[in-house]
Amino acid sequence: MKIGCPTEIKPQEYRVGLTPAAAHEAVAHGHEVLVQSGAGDGAGFADDAYEAARATIVPDAAAVWGEAELVVKVKEPQPQERAQLRRGQVLFAYLHLAPDPEQTRDLLASGITAIAYETVTDRAGGLPLLAPMSEVAGRLAPQVGAWTLQKANGGRGVLLGGVPGVRPARVVIIGGGVVGTAAARVAVGMGANVSVLDRSLPRLSYLDDVFMGSLTTQYSSAAAIEELLPTADLVIGAVLIPGAAAPKLVSRAQLGSMMPGAALVDVAIDQGGCFETSRPTTHQDPIYEVDGIMHYCVANMPGAVARTSTQALGNATLPFVLALADKGWRAAAEADPHLRAGLATHEGQLTSLPVGDALGLAAVTPDELLAG
């Protein structure tokens, strides 16, 4: 099979869909790998590294989209990329369709078979292709939140860890999953006063055990959030509903209860954001102010540490890439219910019920599609 890897063109996206190591593995399995020239530069992988892995360097994106049977990338295809999609082709990438009706319509119109990283599952019920980037984004969240809190950036001028005689910042993390746990680990390590909210009592118990009293856990409810907002210096939104739009947990009206210059970091922005006032931003222009509250809502946070992120993502995606290439998408999906859960569109049919619910579109399950 011809596997293609184009250069990412979303603003400030420096990751790449295939590492040279992944290309080497695919070639060893008998496949041809086409990599757009310069695709790996942002992550520190030069063309000659791919050539050493026996991949073929092609001059432009058109060559990748035009020849590849399986296209592996990081972020959702942009409008100019979606114009090059075709029926019979397979796309394997983060898609985040629920808050993106235009992309969904374009994928359906193209007839492409699209498989979304973020809804592939594992035996433990986790999301193995989202988890590495959730770890990265979670660990970045307190770091970018601390930067946002600096006075020069419009923040309160509070140091996350404080100093002797001056209290540390109060950090509220909404969501105790992979993102929230990673964020808590870094925020605690920076010396902040950390509270984590979640609706799973077993998860809260786990966090209590792991952090051994170095943070506070609280059952998540509208009342609990409302109680904590007035004293929070930094609020990190870390809530995810697989495949669906993120719930809005902080309203604009509630911003008025917060301290001027407090910061919100919305890690769920790829899924529409979990604050009512969130809107996607870029690494180039990451923050904005609403009602005196600073918002950091970069939609591709892991792109800031592209080399680490690319390697972590590549480790997770490689087994699925090889399965798709070795067996073809249908046989691979039939053999693996976890890969099958990632199926988002096929030949004009939406195969994700959460996306259908979010966008008001007819959808079937991947099982129904394959059974038909």
Tokens at 64, concatenated: 């990748």
For the stretch 100-115, pLDDT in tens is 999 999 999 999 999 9
Q: What is the mean pLDDT of residues 162-178?
A: 97
Residue 125 has pLDDT above 90, yes or no: no
Query: How is residue 297 annotated by DSSP?
Result: -
Kindly compute the dihedral angle of the four CA atoms of residues 258, 259, 260, 265, in this order, to the nearest 10 degrees. Answer: -60
CATH number listed for the domain at residues 131-299 = 3.40.50.720
Q: Categorize the per-residue pLDDT at 318 as very low, low, confident or very high, splitting at 50, 70 and 90.
A: very high
pLDDT for 333 equals 97
User: What pLDDT does residue 296 have?
Assistant: 98
Q: Do 240 and 268 contact (CB within 8 A), yes or no?
A: yes
Between 163 and 272, name the one with better pLDDT. Answer: 163
pLDDT of residue 240: 80
In this prediction, residue 271 has a pLDDT band, given cuts at 50, 70 and 90, of: confident
pLDDT greater than 90 at residue 291: yes
Distance CA 88, CA 111 (A): 7
What are the extents of the domains in the chain?
A: 2-119+306-371, 131-299
Q: Residues with catalytic annotation?
A: 96, 270
Q: pLDDT averaged over the chain?
A: 96
Q: Which residue has the tokens 């695709």?
A: 39
Quote the pLDDT of residue 246: 86
pLDDT at 151: 98
Confidence of residue 82 (pLDDT cuts 50, 70, 90): very high
Report pLDDT for 252.
97
**Cα–Cα distance, 140 to 152 (Å, whole number):** 20
Share of the chain above pLDDT 70, in %: 100
Express the helix, strand and coil content of the chain in percent, nearest 5 each: 40, 20, 40
Same CATH fold, 131-299 and 2-119+306-371? yes
CATH architecture of 2-119+306-371: 3-Layer(aba) Sandwich (3.40)
pLDDT band at 299 (very low <50, low <70, confident <90, very high): confident
Query: Residue 93's pLDDT band (boundaries 50, 70, 90)?
Result: very high
Residue 270 has pLDDT above 90, yes or no: no
pLDDT at 84 over 90: yes
DSSP state letters, 235-268? EEE----TTSPPP--B-HHHHTTSPTT-EEEETT
How many residues are present in the chain? 372
Over the range 303-340, which residues count as b (16 or more CB within 10 Å of their CB) and which as e? bbbbbbbbbbbbebbbebbbbbbebebbebbeebebbb
The CB-side HSE value for 131 (13 A sphere, CA atoms) comes to 13
Q: Select from 125, 80, 360, 114 the least CA-distant residue to 245.
A: 360
Residue 244: pLDDT band (50, 70, 90) is confident
153 pLDDT tier (thresholds 50, 70, 90): very high
User: What's the average model confidence in pLDDT over 87-101?
Assistant: 95
Q: Which of 215, 207, 216 is nearest to 191 (CA)?
A: 215
Alpha carbon distances (Å) from 206 to 180, 181, 203, 214: 13, 10, 5, 13
Q: Are 14 and 73 in contact (CB under 8 A)?
A: no
Percentage above 90 pLDDT, the chain: 93
Q: pLDDT, tens digit, for every residue of 214-231?
A: 999 999 999 999 999 999
Q: Give the closest residue to 10 by CA, choosing from 68, 77, 95.
A: 77
Question: What pLDDT, on a 0 to 100 scale, did the predictor assign at position 100?
Answer: 93
Residue appearing with tokens 């419009």: 154
| Per-residue confidence (pLDDT) for residue 310, from 0 to 100 | 97
State the pLDDT confidence band at 210, using cuts at 50, 70 and 90.
very high
Q: How far apart are the first and last CA of the chain?
A: 25
